[in-house]
Amino acid sequence: MSASEKTSPAPVLVTARDVHKAYGDHEVLKGIDMDVRVGETVVILGPSGSGKSTFLRCINHLEAMQKGSILVGEEQVGYVWRNGTLYRATPSQIARQRRGIGMVFQQFNLYPHMTVLQNIVEAPVGVYGEKRGEAEAYAHMLLRRVGLSEKANAYPRQLSGGQQQRVAIARALAIRPRLMLFDEPTSALDPELVGEVLATMRDLAQSGLTMIVVTHEISFAREAADRVIFMDGGRIVEEGPPGQVLVNPSHPRTRAFLNRVI
Amino acid sequence: MAAINPSGSAMVADPSAGRDVALAVSPANHLRRGLTAIVLLLALHMAWLIVANEAFQWHVVFNWLFDPSVMQGLMVTLGLTVVAMVLGTVIGLVLAICRLSGSRIASGFAGLYIWFFRGTPMLVQLIFWYNLATLFPEISITIPFGPTLIGWDTNMLITPLTAAIVGLALNEAAYMAEIIRAGLISVDPGQSEAAQAFGMTRQRALRRIIIPQAMRSIIPPTGNQLISMIKGTSLVSVIAMNDLLYSVQAIYNRTFEIIPLLMVAVVWYLFVTSILNVGQSYIEAYYARGDRRGEVRPATVPDAEPA
């Protein structure tokens, strides 16, 4: 990042404008605006129920929003813009649009009936048509990167929670994403296993991958984030570099939240 | 041991001496032994009553057991079971997916289908199919309320065989639909979410991710269905389909050896269902792979084929 700051800023990858979402009468998102630049690591903090996970899931259209727009590069997942009209995308179009967006879930969601290696190559080979040999070689490389090269033939249930989540990260990286979404990746882990997952994520952030991370881990935000966004009640309350938002928050709700978690 | 007694008094006896659970023995359970003996004795007696009973005419049973017409009937029963079960499962899968789809029309149609075919007796359905010609003398493909494209004479299409297959398969589909639906909704919703996020279409997610996991809860009740299907095929004897039961009936109508010939059918039905039970346990072990609880060492999943 430091190099790009000296020259011109990196191009914007994710553009969210006025995103609204409600479940029935309950408004979860009340107008979110956000820009994420290529190579940036953005950490979204906020109390539970603040809408941060919902916003993340709107980006790849796992949740449909009711108003506003989110663009990832030139794609608007879930919609097709043609000749000045916005059409709802068909399921197969949506599947194609999700290419390039990797996602890591709170509950890992590994496929329990497949080995670690099969989990990782399933999408590259089955969905994106990569050659099996190449996909497997890349999968082994990713497993080395997350420190699990000897677990390629294990089944998910034979691994600890931290190991499963690192496999899930490798699985998401295997589709060679330009954007990674992390939905509370350490919330389901025992405290002593959180560190290994955060370390893996820090490495990724340093490698220049664009990441949006929803988490409760203030330490990760402090060490790895380029920018911290604090959400509450379906709105962005405050945002800025971690040194500012986490050390010197300007909004009383941010201060109250940080006092509670630290 | 006593030397490191924390109280410091070295001579106090160690309370755990000799109490290692590895040395524990089971107490003699006289009640259980007695009951086991009584049950075994009763079972033996029962077997003796059947084997030694002249009325069963075991020599007649053995005479007919491998008779060509019985063998032929057995083949018809097996063939019908396989065809009806495969068709029933495929239609059932489609119905289950319809029921779970967001579409009101699809799920309503599937619900109606299941309601009708589960709610009417199998025997009545078979007779209806067999006599379809009285209701619809001609079956044709037409544009609704428009001209006919192609048509057949119903009596040509509906033979005992087609009536039996259609009747059994459509009835089975209703039950399989519910079994498959239960299996599909038992899979963690996070799985289809992950599949979606990784760009899989709904079809592919079902085939590669959801159905393989649903199989664990689909297989046991399906085994049940298959066994009732084998016996259920005996109903087709009412529409003159020459299955196992029909062929033994044909024999005892001539020889009047009713009980021994029914025993011939019983022996074969039991033989086939026993083989199926063994097959089922192998299939269950296969789909238990990746599960720590089942200690079964995994067979490998077929590899992902490119889309």
- Pick from B199, B204, B212: which is nearest to A113 by CB? B212
> Residue B292: its chain A contacts at CB < 8 A?
157-158
A156–chain B Cβ distance below 8 A for any pair = yes
Give the residue from chain A lying closest to B194, CA to CA. Answer: A109
> Residue B196: its chain A contacts at CB < 8 A?
62, 95, 98
Residue A240, token pair as written in the block:
């800025």
- pLDDT of B295 > 70? The answer is no
C-alpha to C-alpha distance for A22 and A152, rounded to whole angstroms: 41
The kind and range of the H/E element at A100 are none
**Radius of gyration of chain A measured on its C-alpha atoms:** 18
Check B193 against A156: CB less than 8 A apart.
no
B214–chain A Cβ distance below 8 A for any pair = no
| Chain B nearest CA to A31, separation (Å) | 24
- According to DSSP, the residues that pair with A229 across neighbouring strands are A44, A239
- Pick from A60, A95, A121: which is nearest to B200 by CB? A95
Helices in A83-190 by DSSP H: which ranges? 91-97, 116-121, 132-145, 161-173
Check B289 against A121: CB less than 8 A apart.
no
Helices in chain A by DSSP H: which ranges? 2-6, 52-59, 91-97, 116-121, 132-145, 161-173, 191-206, 218-224, 242-245, 252-261
Give pLDDT tens digits for B40-98.
999 999 999 988 888 888 888 899 999 999 999 999 999 999 999 999 999 999 999 99
For chain B, what is the mean pLDDT? 87
The packing angle between helices B68-100 and B104-119, to 10°, is: 150
- The DSSP 8-state label assigned to residue A125 in this structure reads I
> Residue B290: its chain A contacts at CB < 8 A?
112-115, 155-157
- pLDDT of B300 > 80? The answer is no
> Residue A177: its chain B contacts at CB < 8 A?
none
C-alpha to C-alpha distance for A18 and A234, rounded to whole angstroms: 11
A125–chain B Cβ distance below 8 A for any pair = yes
C-alpha to C-alpha distance for B104 and A198, rounded to whole angstroms: 45
- pLDDT of A180 > 60? The answer is yes
Tell me if A152 sits within 8 A of A135, measured CB to CB. Answer: no
Average pLDDT over residues B271-278: 91
Check B188 against A109: CB less than 8 A apart.
yes
C-alpha to C-alpha distance for A152 and B262, rounded to whole angstroms: 56
- According to DSSP, the residues that pair with B138 across neighbouring strands are B153
Provide the chain B residues 136-175 that lie in CB contact (below 8 A) with chain A: none
The 3-state secondary structure of chain B, one letter per residue = CHHHCCCCCCCCCCCCCCCCHHHCCCCCCHHHHHHHHHHHHHHHHHHHHHHHCHHHCHHHHHHHHCCHHHHHHHHHHHHHHHHHHHHHHHHHHHHHHHHHCCCHHHHHHHHHHHHHHHHCCHHHHHHHHHCHHHHCCEEEEECCCCCEEEEEEHHHHCCHHHHHHHHHHHHHHHHHHHHHHHHHHCCCHHHHHHHHHCCCCHHHHHHHHHHHHHHHHHHHHHHHHHHHHHHHHHHHHHHCCCCHHHHHHHHHHHHCCHHHHHHHHHHHHHHHHHHHHHHHHHHHHHHCCCCCCCCCCCCCCCCCCCC
Q: What are phi and psi of A12, to 5 degrees?
A: -80, 135
Check B194 against A175: CB less than 8 A apart.
no
Smallest CA-to-CA distance from A201 within A55, A71, A102, A123 is with A102
Residue A120, token pair as written in the block:
């990782």
Please name the amino acid found at residue B288. Answer: A
Give the residue from chain A lying closest to B216, CA to CA. Answer: A113
Q: How many beta-carbon contacts under 8 Å exist across A and B?
A: 94
- pLDDT of B119 > 50? The answer is yes
ipTM above 0.95, yes or no: no
Check A128 against B202: CB less than 8 A apart.
no
Specify the 3-state DSSP secondary structure of A126. Answer: helix
Check B193 against A62: CB less than 8 A apart.
yes
A118–chain B Cβ distance below 8 A for any pair = yes
Tell me if B296 sits within 8 A of B288, measured CB to CB. Answer: yes
Give pLDDT tens digits for B207-240.
999 999 999 999 999 999 999 999 888 888 888 7
Average pLDDT over residues A36-51: 94
pLDDT band at B7 (very low <50, low <70, confident <90, very high): low
pLDDT band at A260 (very low <50, low <70, confident <90, very high): confident
Please name the amino acid found at residue B261. Answer: L
For chain A, what is the mean pLDDT? 92
Q: Does residue B137 or residue A197 have the better pLDDT?
A: A197
Please name the amino acid found at residue A147. Answer: G
Q: What are phi and psi of B150, to 5 degrees?
A: -155, 140
Tell me if A162 sits within 8 A of A197, measured CB to CB. Answer: yes
B286–chain A Cβ distance below 8 A for any pair = no
Check B198 against A155: CB less than 8 A apart.
no
> Residue A112: its chain B contacts at CB < 8 A?
213, 290-291
Q: What angle do CA B176, B177, B181 make, to 5 degrees?
A: 115
The kind and range of the H/E element at A33 are strand A26-37
Specify the 3-state DSSP secondary structure of A132. Answer: helix
Check A157 against B188: CB less than 8 A apart.
no
Average pLDDT over residues B21-34: 89
Residue B42, token pair as written in the block:
């009763």
Average pLDDT over residues A201-225: 93
Interface test with chain B among A96, A111, A131, by most B beta carbons within 10 Å: A111
B301–chain A Cβ distance below 8 A for any pair = yes
Interface test with chain B among A56, A96, A109, A173, by most B beta carbons within 10 Å: A109
Give pLDDT tens digits for B127-182.
999 988 888 888 888 888 878 878 888 887 888 888 999 999 999 999 999 999 99
Tell me if A101 sits within 8 A of A60, measured CB to CB. Answer: yes
Question: What's the distance, CA A139 to chain centroid?
Answer: 20
B201–chain A Cβ distance below 8 A for any pair = yes
